Amino acid sequence: MLVLRYISSLQQNLLSEAFCATTVDCSTFVTSALPPALRILGEVLRADARRICDESFYGICAAVAGCAHKTESLLEYVSQQAQIEGQKAALKKGACTQYETIDQAIRCADAVEEYWDEAALAFFEMPDLALAICTNMAVDFLPPEQWDILTCERELEKVALLWKEPGNVQLTVDYLQGDAFCGADNLGLPVPEEDCAVYIEDFIPSAVPVLINFLQERKAAICLELLTTKKGSS
Protein backbone atom coordinates (compact mmCIF):
# COMPACT_ATOMS: atom_id res chain seq x y z
CA MET A 1 0.00 0.00 0.00
CA LEU A 2 2.73 2.45 1.00
CA VAL A 3 4.96 1.65 -2.00
CA LEU A 4 2.04 1.78 -4.44
CA ARG A 5 0.92 5.13 -3.06
CA TYR A 6 4.32 6.77 -3.52
CA ILE A 7 4.89 5.24 -6.94
CA SER A 8 1.53 6.58 -8.10
CA SER A 9 2.24 10.04 -6.66
CA LEU A 10 5.71 10.13 -8.21
CA GLN A 11 4.35 9.07 -11.59
CA GLN A 12 1.77 11.86 -11.56
CA ASN A 13 4.40 14.46 -10.72
CA LEU A 14 6.87 13.24 -13.32
CA LEU A 15 4.25 13.07 -16.07
CA SER A 16 3.41 16.73 -15.55
CA GLU A 17 4.97 19.66 -17.39
CA ALA A 18 7.49 20.00 -14.58
CA PHE A 19 9.41 16.99 -15.92
CA CYS A 20 8.14 15.10 -18.94
CA ALA A 21 6.16 17.86 -20.62
CA THR A 22 5.21 16.42 -24.04
CA THR A 23 8.16 14.07 -24.52
CA VAL A 24 6.76 10.68 -25.54
CA ASP A 25 9.87 8.69 -24.56
CA CYS A 26 9.86 10.22 -21.09
CA SER A 27 6.17 9.44 -20.56
CA THR A 28 6.68 5.85 -21.69
CA PHE A 29 9.58 5.39 -19.29
CA VAL A 30 7.69 6.88 -16.32
CA THR A 31 4.61 4.75 -17.06
CA SER A 32 6.21 1.40 -17.82
CA ALA A 33 9.80 1.21 -16.57
CA LEU A 34 9.82 3.32 -13.42
CA PRO A 35 7.27 1.40 -11.27
CA PRO A 36 9.08 -1.99 -11.37
CA ALA A 37 12.42 -0.26 -10.77
CA LEU A 38 11.06 1.51 -7.68
CA ARG A 39 9.52 -1.70 -6.38
CA ILE A 40 12.89 -3.43 -6.61
CA LEU A 41 14.55 -0.49 -4.84
CA GLY A 42 11.87 -0.64 -2.15
CA GLU A 43 12.54 -4.33 -1.53
CA VAL A 44 16.28 -3.67 -1.26
CA LEU A 45 15.74 -0.88 1.28
CA ARG A 46 13.21 -2.95 3.19
CA ALA A 47 15.65 -5.86 3.48
CA ASP A 48 18.18 -3.52 5.07
CA ALA A 49 15.62 -1.49 7.04
CA ARG A 50 16.79 -2.48 10.52
CA ARG A 51 20.38 -1.35 9.94
CA ILE A 52 19.21 1.90 8.29
CA CYS A 53 16.88 2.64 11.20
CA ASP A 54 19.44 1.85 13.87
CA GLU A 55 22.21 3.87 12.26
CA SER A 56 20.34 6.83 10.81
CA PHE A 57 17.02 7.54 12.53
CA TYR A 58 17.85 7.41 16.23
CA GLY A 59 15.02 5.28 17.53
CA ILE A 60 12.19 6.62 15.39
CA CYS A 61 11.79 3.25 13.68
CA ALA A 62 11.24 1.53 17.01
CA ALA A 63 8.42 3.96 17.75
CA VAL A 64 6.85 3.35 14.34
CA ALA A 65 7.09 -0.37 15.06
CA GLY A 66 5.24 0.27 18.33
CA CYS A 67 2.55 2.20 16.48
CA ALA A 68 2.29 -0.61 13.93
CA HIS A 69 1.90 -3.18 16.70
CA LYS A 70 -0.97 -1.21 18.25
CA THR A 71 -2.53 -0.63 14.83
CA GLU A 72 -2.35 -4.34 14.09
CA SER A 73 -4.33 -4.89 17.29
CA LEU A 74 -6.93 -2.41 16.08
CA LEU A 75 -7.15 -4.18 12.72
CA GLU A 76 -7.53 -7.51 14.48
CA TYR A 77 -10.34 -6.09 16.58
CA VAL A 78 -12.32 -4.67 13.64
CA SER A 79 -11.84 -8.06 11.92
CA GLN A 80 -13.73 -9.88 14.67
CA GLN A 81 -17.03 -11.41 13.61
CA ALA A 82 -19.14 -9.14 15.81
CA GLN A 83 -17.50 -6.07 14.26
CA ILE A 84 -17.91 -7.43 10.73
CA GLU A 85 -21.61 -8.04 11.40
CA GLY A 86 -21.91 -4.40 12.45
CA GLN A 87 -20.10 -3.33 9.28
CA LYS A 88 -22.49 -5.36 7.16
CA ALA A 89 -25.50 -3.74 8.79
CA ALA A 90 -23.99 -0.29 8.24
CA LEU A 91 -23.16 -1.06 4.59
CA LYS A 92 -26.65 -2.32 3.82
CA LYS A 93 -28.15 0.82 5.32
CA GLY A 94 -25.60 3.37 4.17
CA ALA A 95 -24.09 2.11 0.91
CA CYS A 96 -26.69 -0.18 -0.65
CA THR A 97 -29.51 2.36 -0.30
CA GLN A 98 -27.58 4.74 -2.57
CA TYR A 99 -28.45 2.65 -5.63
CA GLU A 100 -31.14 4.02 -7.92
CA THR A 101 -33.55 1.07 -7.89
CA ILE A 102 -34.92 -1.18 -5.16
CA ASP A 103 -33.74 -4.23 -7.09
CA GLN A 104 -30.16 -2.92 -7.13
CA ALA A 105 -30.33 -2.14 -3.41
CA ILE A 106 -31.60 -5.64 -2.63
CA ARG A 107 -28.89 -7.29 -4.71
CA CYS A 108 -26.29 -5.09 -3.00
CA ALA A 109 -27.56 -6.10 0.44
CA ASP A 110 -27.52 -9.77 -0.53
CA ALA A 111 -23.94 -9.46 -1.81
CA VAL A 112 -22.83 -7.69 1.38
CA GLU A 113 -24.39 -10.42 3.50
CA GLU A 114 -22.79 -13.16 1.42
CA TYR A 115 -19.32 -11.80 0.72
CA TRP A 116 -18.39 -8.92 3.03
CA ASP A 117 -16.83 -11.30 5.57
CA GLU A 118 -14.22 -12.40 3.03
CA ALA A 119 -13.72 -8.92 1.57
CA ALA A 120 -13.25 -7.33 5.01
CA LEU A 121 -10.75 -9.96 6.11
CA ALA A 122 -8.88 -9.63 2.81
CA PHE A 123 -8.51 -5.88 3.33
CA PHE A 124 -7.86 -5.72 7.07
CA GLU A 125 -5.28 -8.50 6.76
CA MET A 126 -3.46 -6.78 3.89
CA PRO A 127 0.30 -7.37 4.37
CA ASP A 128 2.04 -4.41 6.02
CA LEU A 129 -1.20 -2.40 6.23
CA ALA A 130 -0.52 -1.36 9.84
CA LEU A 131 3.04 -0.23 9.00
CA ALA A 132 1.78 1.73 5.99
CA ILE A 133 -0.85 3.45 8.14
CA CYS A 134 1.67 4.47 10.79
CA THR A 135 4.22 5.71 8.28
CA ASN A 136 1.67 7.73 6.32
CA MET A 137 0.06 9.30 9.38
CA ALA A 138 3.24 11.08 10.49
CA VAL A 139 2.51 9.93 14.03
CA ASP A 140 4.01 11.61 17.06
CA PHE A 141 6.16 8.55 17.71
CA LEU A 142 4.87 8.01 21.24
CA PRO A 143 6.39 4.94 22.89
CA PRO A 144 3.83 2.10 23.01
CA GLU A 145 3.63 2.21 26.81
CA GLN A 146 2.30 5.79 26.61
CA TRP A 147 -0.71 4.81 24.51
CA ASP A 148 -4.09 5.31 26.21
CA ILE A 149 -7.74 5.73 25.24
CA LEU A 150 -7.19 9.22 23.84
CA THR A 151 -4.19 8.07 21.81
CA CYS A 152 -6.20 5.18 20.43
CA GLU A 153 -9.08 7.47 19.45
CA ARG A 154 -6.66 9.89 17.83
CA GLU A 155 -5.11 7.12 15.76
CA LEU A 156 -8.53 5.92 14.63
CA GLU A 157 -9.29 9.46 13.46
CA LYS A 158 -6.02 9.50 11.53
CA VAL A 159 -6.78 6.14 9.94
CA ALA A 160 -10.16 7.50 8.85
CA LEU A 161 -8.64 10.62 7.29
CA LEU A 162 -5.95 8.57 5.56
CA TRP A 163 -8.41 6.03 4.19
CA LYS A 164 -10.71 8.79 2.92
CA GLU A 165 -8.05 10.09 0.51
CA PRO A 166 -9.09 9.27 -3.11
CA GLY A 167 -5.77 7.56 -3.83
CA ASN A 168 -6.22 5.20 -0.88
CA VAL A 169 -9.83 4.46 -1.82
CA GLN A 170 -8.52 3.45 -5.24
CA LEU A 171 -5.80 1.34 -3.63
CA THR A 172 -8.53 -0.47 -1.69
CA VAL A 173 -10.35 -1.11 -4.96
CA ASP A 174 -7.19 -2.31 -6.70
CA TYR A 175 -6.26 -4.63 -3.84
CA LEU A 176 -9.69 -6.29 -3.61
CA GLN A 177 -9.86 -6.65 -7.39
CA GLY A 178 -6.68 -8.72 -7.25
CA ASP A 179 -5.80 -12.12 -5.85
CA ALA A 180 -6.80 -11.16 -2.30
CA PHE A 181 -10.51 -11.26 -3.19
CA CYS A 182 -11.75 -11.24 -6.80
CA GLY A 183 -8.92 -13.46 -7.99
CA ALA A 184 -8.82 -15.75 -4.94
CA ASP A 185 -9.36 -19.36 -5.99
CA ASN A 186 -10.34 -20.51 -2.48
CA LEU A 187 -13.36 -18.21 -2.09
CA GLY A 188 -15.45 -19.83 -4.81
CA LEU A 189 -17.08 -16.57 -5.88
CA PRO A 190 -20.11 -17.23 -8.12
CA VAL A 191 -19.13 -14.60 -10.69
CA PRO A 192 -16.12 -14.33 -13.01
CA GLU A 193 -13.16 -12.34 -11.76
CA GLU A 194 -13.90 -9.60 -14.30
CA ASP A 195 -17.47 -9.14 -13.04
CA CYS A 196 -16.27 -9.13 -9.44
CA ALA A 197 -13.78 -6.38 -10.33
CA VAL A 198 -16.56 -4.27 -11.84
CA TYR A 199 -18.68 -4.69 -8.71
CA ILE A 200 -15.78 -3.73 -6.44
CA GLU A 201 -15.06 -0.66 -8.58
CA ASP A 202 -18.68 0.40 -8.19
CA PHE A 203 -19.24 -0.50 -4.53
CA ILE A 204 -16.08 0.34 -2.58
CA PRO A 205 -16.07 4.14 -3.16
CA SER A 206 -19.53 4.23 -1.55
CA ALA A 207 -18.60 1.70 1.13
CA VAL A 208 -15.46 3.43 2.45
CA PRO A 209 -17.25 6.54 3.85
CA VAL A 210 -19.80 4.25 5.52
CA LEU A 211 -17.05 2.17 7.12
CA ILE A 212 -15.20 5.30 8.22
CA ASN A 213 -18.37 6.56 9.91
CA PHE A 214 -18.84 3.13 11.50
CA LEU A 215 -15.37 3.34 13.06
CA GLN A 216 -15.73 6.96 14.18
CA GLU A 217 -19.11 6.40 15.84
CA ARG A 218 -17.66 3.50 17.84
CA LYS A 219 -14.12 4.72 18.46
CA ALA A 220 -14.57 5.22 22.21
CA ALA A 221 -16.09 1.77 22.73
CA ILE A 222 -13.59 0.11 20.38
CA CYS A 223 -10.60 1.69 22.11
CA LEU A 224 -11.92 1.03 25.61
CA GLU A 225 -12.53 -2.63 24.95
CA LEU A 226 -9.33 -3.07 22.97
CA LEU A 227 -7.03 -1.51 25.55
CA THR A 228 -8.85 -3.09 28.49
CA THR A 229 -8.59 -6.51 26.88
CA LYS A 230 -4.93 -6.02 26.07
CA LYS A 231 -4.17 -4.82 29.59
CA GLY A 232 -6.00 -7.75 31.11
CA SER A 233 -4.19 -10.26 28.94
CA SER A 234 -0.70 -8.81 29.46
How does DSSP assign 6-42, residue by residue? HHHHHHHHHTSTTTTTT-HHHHHIIIIIHHHHHHHHH
Domain that holds residue 129: 59-233
Domain-located, residue 140: yes
pTM beyond 0.75: the answer is no
Position 53 in a domain: no
Report the range of poorest mean pLDDT among 67-76, 77-86, 120-129: 67-76
Same-domain status, 86 and 42: no
84 and 3 in a common domain: no
Does a structural domain hold residue 191? yes
Does 75 lie in the same domain as 151?
A: yes
Does residue 22 fall inside a structural domain? yes
Q: Residue 57 has what pLDDT? A: 45
Domain presence at residue 204: yes
Lowest model confidence (mean pLDDT) among 24-38, 62-76, 117-131, 213-227: 24-38
In this structure, of 20-34, 114-128, 199-213, 214-228, the range with the lowest mean pLDDT score is 20-34
Asked, for residue 201, whether it belongs to a domain, the answer is yes
Q: Check whether residue 87 and residue 194 sit in a common domain.
A: yes
- Between 220 and 65, residue with greater pLDDT: 220
Q: Are residues 20 and 66 in the same domain?
A: no
Q: How confident is the model at residue 10 (pLDDT cuts 50, 70, 90)?
A: low
Domain annotation covers residue 52: no
pLDDT band at 209 (very low <50, low <70, confident <90, very high): very high
The total number of structural domains that make up the chain = 2
pLDDT band per the 50, 70, 90 thresholds, residue 66: low
pLDDT band at 17 (very low <50, low <70, confident <90, very high): low
What pLDDT, on the 0 to 100 scale, is given for residue 205? 92
DSSP of 147-207, one letter per residue?
--HHHHHHHHHHHHHHHHSHHHHHHHHHHHHTTTTTT-GGG--SS-HHHHHHHHHHHHHHH
